[in-house]
Structure 1
Amino acid sequence: MDNRTNLDDYLAGLGISDADESELPPPAPDAAPSAPTLEAAPEDPRAALERFLQGLVTRIDPDLSVTVREAEDALEAEITGEHAARLAGRDGRTLGAIEVLAYTVLAKQEGRGHLRVRVDVGGFRKRQADTLTKLAERLAVQVAKSGEPHELQPMPPAERRVIHIALKEHPDVMSESVGEGAARRLIIRPRHG
């Protein structure tokens, strides 16, 4: 298989394309050729994200539904349904891949590469954030009591961000990210002064 197969080919394999012709009625056999039309205006990013995700999840499980809302710094999508949590995959890997695809679809639209995309399925991200926040609080108490820094295992940026936010206003400890790429990790240190 050619490693350079592009996203358009993958999306086409899923039955998703820039102009989904299956939604257009076939032209009437006796219809006169129509005049050239002007190119359509770019689709609203929220609507584009919702359309993409709904098309994706419908092919996986027709009982799943998608809701997209605009947050301050991102578009946030929630996939719900009886079996939605399965879509997160092991350790959220499938969910992460869905986010990458969703971001890429939006980035293909002119001027949309600056938008952040967050996707949650069956409350997976919320439960994960709650767990990380509790971990941050426990470690903060431990670091404050011992006076020794605590280094966590490498973790994705979204998980580090949850811990940074949880400890941002903590009076006794602070957090910082160190390392590069996939080895980037978080250290919780006593706050001096």
Structure 2
Amino acid sequence: MDNRTNLDDYLAGLGIAGADESELPPPAPDAAPSAPPALEAAHEAPVVVLERFLRGLIARIDPELSVSVQETEDALEAEITGENAAKLAGRDGRTLGAIEVLAYTVLAKQEGRSELRVRVDIGGFRKRQADTLTKLAERLAVQVAKSGEVHEMQPMPAAERRVIHIALKEHPDVMSESVGEGASRRLIIKPRHG
């Protein structure tokens, strides 16, 4: 058995088509034209595609874990739960981030579009992280309001900046703003003037 076949089988099991069109067998002369399997799957609801992908992935990692997916007004949100789910998030959520990127990629490929947002949480990691960031934002807001000085944070991912922006959106004394470009984009908290 060659490795490519094994990889193609593995990817197909995760809901990712691995075969090139050139590798597909030619249609029978009397067969009606039909869409390739990957195109037929594109007609499935994004929620179904995401759930199937994540179930296939976690079944290979820890069959004791479970997945639930729901559609919100701005994204598809998936929750992976189970006794050992927290371990799957990885150090600083790195594995979680990779799973989220893969899930987004699978959906973009299936749906033929990339504007659909995907958020994955594993064992409540994102919720705990958001709570921690919200508390940090509140502490920094008090500090900035007292000192009157701008506080510049270290570069952080957009999702983390968003949590802080939301936490401070209605704050009467301070406001937040993202500055910088790319990986060095960071958030500043400054006194609200006016």
Q: Could you say which TM-score interval applies, normalised by the shorter chain?
A: 0.7 to 0.9
Give the alignment's TM-score, normalised by structure 1. Answer: 0.83
| Secondary structure in 1 matching 2:119 | strand
Deviation (angstroms), 1:43: 1.3
Residues 16, 106 of structure 2: 8 Å contact kept:
no
> Deviations along 1:83-142, whole A, 9 cap, x unmatched?
001111000000000000000000002443110000000000000000000000000000
Which residue matches 1:16? 14
Distance 1:79 1:106, change over 3 A: same
| Secondary structure in 2 matching 1:174 | strand
Give the alignment's TM-score, normalised by structure 2. Answer: 0.83
Distance across 2 between alignment mates of 1:125 and 1:190: 28
Distance across 1 between alignment mates of 2:16 and 2:183: 32
Which residue matches 1:121? 122
Which residue matches 1:31? none
Deviation (angstroms), 1:42: 1.5
**Number of positions where the alignment pairs a residue of Structure 1 with one of Structure 2:** 173
Deviation (angstroms), 1:10: 6.5
Deviation (angstroms), 1:16: 2.6
Distance across 2 between alignment mates of 1:13 and 1:76: 24
The percent of aligned pairs where both chains have the same amino acid is: 78
Residues 11, 17 of structure 1: 8 Å contact kept:
no
Distance across 2 between alignment mates of 1:11 and 1:170: 52
Which residue matches 1:64? 65
Distance across 2 between alignment mates of 1:173 and 1:11: 53
Which residue matches 1:179? 180
Alignment of 1:84 onto 2:85: yes
Distance across 2 between alignment mates of 1:76 and 1:171: 31
Which residue matches 1:160? 161
Paired residue type of 2:142:
V
Distance 1:12 1:136, change over 3 A: farther
Which residue matches 1:30? none
Deviation (angstroms), 1:166: 0.3
Distance across 1 between alignment mates of 2:70 and 2:58: 17
Distance across 2 between alignment mates of 1:36 and 1:43: 22
Distance across 2 between alignment mates of 1:183 and 1:102: 25
Distance across 2 between alignment mates of 1:112 and 1:85: 31
| Secondary structure in 1 matching 2:43 | coil
| Secondary structure in 2 matching 1:109 | helix
Structure 1 gap segments, 5+ residues each = 1-8, 21-33
Paired residue type of 2:14:
I
Distance across 2 between alignment mates of 1:146 and 1:173: 11
Residues 15, 52 of structure 2: 8 Å contact kept:
no
Distance 1:10 1:133, change over 3 A: farther
Alignment of 1:44 onto 2:51: no
| Secondary structure in 2 matching 1:108 | helix
Structure 2 gap segments, 5+ residues each = 1-5, 19-29
